Amino acid sequence: MNRLGALRFDNAFIRELPGDRSGKVHSRQTPGVCWASVSPSPVSQPRLLAYAPEVAALLDLEAQDVTSDTFAQVFGGNALLHGMAPYATRYGGHQFGTWAGQLGDGRAISLGEAINARGERWELQLKGAGITPYSRRADGRAVLRSSLREFLCSEAMFHLGVPTTRALSLIATGDAVRRDMLYDGNPRDEPGAVVCRVAPSFIRFGHFEILAAQGEHDLLRRLLSFTLEKHFPSLGGEPQQRFAAWFREVCERTAQLVVEWMRVGFVHGVMNTDNMSILGLTIDYGPYGWIDDFDPGWTPNTTDADMRRYCYGDQTIVARWNLERLAQALAGIAPSQSVLDEGLAHFDTMLQKGMHSMLAGKFGLRDWRDGDAELVADIFQLMQQSEVDMTEFFRLLALVDVSSPHVNVLATAFYHEEQFIQERARFETWLTRYAQRTGAEQSGSAERTERMNKVNPRFVLRNYLAQQAIEAAEQGDLKLLHRLLDAARTPYADAHPADLIAKRPDWARHKAGASMLSCSS
Ligand code: AMP
Ligand code: MG
């Protein structure tokens, strides 16, 4: 029996919040509602390219269910299961610092909220399944390259321990999608794909912002109660305390989220408020990237190349700015301004605490002491000046014998041998300071290595690797895609195929897709 038929749905978002049930797809403003009914547009030849067994298990599905033809039809957008009721949601957002008005799910269609055997709620959402009332002038579709990147990275982040939306499946549609990848007047036909994303909810800051911006305060209150009841059930108390606890919690989760991004070297790339999850999950994988050579000013997003608003090192600042926009949207329904201010102050506290304990962990320190900030800032500056690979560096640092530190241990983290030779004295001096600091804690070397290797990944989804998997997949070769998904399952393990943990090769330094990505997806 195919277990797909046994999936149970409880579509609370559309049951409890007002929607536009007309089913019409033409682009429009939808005042007064949180969602609009819309069916996925059919595709010609849906074919499963990859799936995540762990996510299938969340839905009580097994391999034979996911590899069935029914699955490809449903999760490619050609059919619905009993109980599914597809819809697109209405949200707005601040894009690159400016209020952009109504945006909404322009190419995401939620199929429904599945309730698994453990009673957990998992919303299933197709990305790239065709136009919705929120598509504006775009086509509602997604290309294989961006879908593969979203699929792989969602799962890579999960296994790294970073809060994220999940990805169940990657399905090729068999249809072409026309895109101008670098916005340089050279559009081409690319293979289309649909990812099924899975999360307890895809509610964003922007869902609240649009209602405030349009003066829809009653609906804003309803969305808030819905969010509290369904997604923050543990927060009790009188309404005022409950609001305060909730906003504080959103601020705290957002702080924890960016701290985790900083830990693993992830750059989201488009931290607009419409791309911020109210649950504190990483959401909307677009022109994201991973730090190779350590550089706080780096952004993978070519659209942001001049401003660098969303560069690696500024993600904490932007998270705060985004929470301020959320606070602004909530001002009309909050019990008081001070409740919002307290939430934001809590973000600052949690961010600082989180950064300190995260950095202490990365450097193998048992706690954070006076002077550590300087120790850390100094090595980060050296790493930046000397082009040192972030991921490689921390795994090598874990191997340094602090009773007799030797700089040669770090050699392979450098992108250029000459730079290692030139800078070795400065790194050696720093290592001596580091050894003194670590030695002061008197932990055994093997124990320290083990501790550091639990927070410093060996495998990350480097940009060039994803790009190679894309190029192969576009030629019909899925081996690398599957190998990467496999490696992503054990990111902290030592043993990985050499080609999956190699530093970025020279050819990938300035290659489109590998180091430069646009929002065209
Ligand atoms: P993003 O920059 O991907 O977060 O998208 C910003 C907005 O544009 C969201 O409302 C998306 O749904 C919408 N959007 C992006 N690409 C498309 C597309 N191909 N078709 C329809 N809407 C899109
Ligand atoms: Mg988005």
> Has residue 127 got a pLDDT over 80?
yes
d(CA 502, CA 415): 11
Give 257's contacts (C-beta < 8 A, 6+ positions apart): 162, 163, 280, 281, 282, 319
Question: Which residues are registered as beta bridge partners of 99?
Answer: 94
330-349, pLDDT tens digit by residue?
Answer: 999 999 999 999 999 999 99
Task: Looking at the CA of 41, name the nearest ligand.
Answer: 1
**H or E element, residue 425:** helix 417-439
What is d(CA 486, CA 58) in angstroms, rounded to the nearest whole number? 18
Q: Average model confidence (pLDDT) for the chain? A: 97
Share of the chain above pLDDT 70, in %: 99
Nearest CA to ligand 1 atom 2: 519
Instruction: Give, using CA atoms, the residue closest to atom 3 of ligand 1.
Output: 286
How large is the average pLDDT for residues 402-411?
A: 95
Nearest C-alpha to atom 23 of ligand 1 is from which residue? 106
Structure-token pair, residue 119: 């009673």
Question: Separation of 146 CA from ligand 1 center, angstroms?
Answer: 12
CB-defined site of ligand 1, < 6 Å: 103-107, 134-135, 138-141, 270, 274-275, 284, 286, 519
Q: How confident is the model at residue 445 (pLDDT cuts 50, 70, 90)?
A: confident
Cα 507 off chain centre by: 26
Ligand 1, residue 272: give the atom nearest the CA: 4
Distance 193 CA to ligand 1 centre (A): 15
* Cα–ligand 2 centroid distance for 392 (angstroms): 31
- Catalytic residue, chosen from 20, 65, 105, 274, is 274
Question: For position 148, what pLDDT does the model report?
Answer: 98
Is the confidence at residue 444, as pLDDT, over 90?
no
Mean pLDDT of all residues in 478-506: 98
Percentage of residues of the chain with pLDDT beyond 90: 95
Distances (CA, A) of 82 to 79, 85, 201: 10, 9, 20
pLDDT at 511 over 90: no
Q: Output the pLDDT for position 28.
A: 98
Between CA 320 and CA 316 the distance in angstroms is 6
Question: How far is ligand 1, taken at its centre, from the CA of residue 370, in Å?
Answer: 45
Active site residue 274: yes
Q: How far is CA 357 from CA 52, 248, 509, in A?
A: 31, 20, 32
The residues pairing with 63 across neighbouring beta strands, listed in sequence order, are none
SS3 assignment, position 26:
coil
Q: Alpha-carbon torsion 71, 188, 266, 431, what sign?
A: positive
Give the start-to-end residue ranges of the domains of the chain: 2-200, 226-362, 366-521
Lowest mean pLDDT segment, chosen from 29-38, 173-182, 271-280? 173-182
pLDDT at 510: 85
Please report the pLDDT score of residue 374 as a whole number.
98
CA distance 439 to 442: 5
Residue with CA closest to ligand 1 atom 7: 103
pTM for the model stands at 0.97
pLDDT for res 520: 84
- The reported pLDDT for the residue numbered 439 is 82
Q: Which of 112, 114, 113, 146 is nearest to 128 (CA)?
A: 146
Q: How far apart are CA 56 and CA 115, in angstroms?
A: 13
Asked if 195 and 128 count as a contact pair (C-beta separation under 8 A), the reply is: yes
Separation of alpha carbons 270 and 390, rounded Å: 22
| Residue range 145-162, pLDDT digits in tens | 999 999 999 999 999 999
Place of tokens 């490689």: 392
- The whole-number pLDDT of residue 443 equals 67
Give residues with Cβ within 8 angstroms of 345, minimum separation 6: none
